[in-house]
A = this chain, B = another copy of it.
Amino acid sequence: MSAEQRLRDLGLTLPEVPAPVGSYVNCVRSGQLVHTSGGLPFDGERRFTGKVPTDLSIEDGQEAARLVVLNRLAVIREELGSLDAVSRVVSLHGFVNAGPGFHDHPKVINGASDLLLDIFGERGRHARLALGAASLPLDAAVEISLVVEAI
């Protein structure tokens, strides 16, 4: 199944590629791997700011994680020309803006992982790191980076 076709079937469109919020680039390819920078929940504007679960619910956090995946995929499509050039999602690092007593990071980051599975099928199954950051850039609810393998 084509990831681009699957995206259309899901009625999803990728947001504009966000401008990096510092002196770095959105991704770097080395060999077969594309390393994306940590992405924040942007879709043209900044969304989902604050901490989970005090300022935002777990469900909001999941939506934020989905949104970051969509803008990371926009970065990857720009780099590779098409999501169909992704042969495998290798790894996902997901950081939740959470206080010291939060334990449900996996539920929040599942918002990202589930969407990758939905778009890429078996090729979307990735290794994952999910944990709580003391604070995140621009007070974003989540920050996520991806490494994908290109055909």
Assuming the contacts A24-B126, A92-B24, asked whether A100 and B51 have C-beta atoms less than 8 A apart, the reply is: yes
- The answer to whether B100 touches A134, judged by C-beta atoms less than 8 angstroms apart, is yes
Complex alpha-carbon distance, A135 and B131, angstroms: 7
Say yes or no: is A133 at the interface (Cβ < 8 Å to chain B).
yes
Q: How far is the CB of A49 from chain B (nearest CB, A)?
A: 9
Q: Is the interface of A mostly helix, strand, loop or mixed?
A: mixed
Residues of A in contact, count (CB < 8 Å)? 59
How far is the CB of A86 from the nearest CB of chain B, in Å?
12
Contacts of A113 in B (CB 8 A): 22-24
Residues of chain B with a CB closer than 8 A to A38's CB: 128-131
A91/B127 in contact, CB under 8 A: no
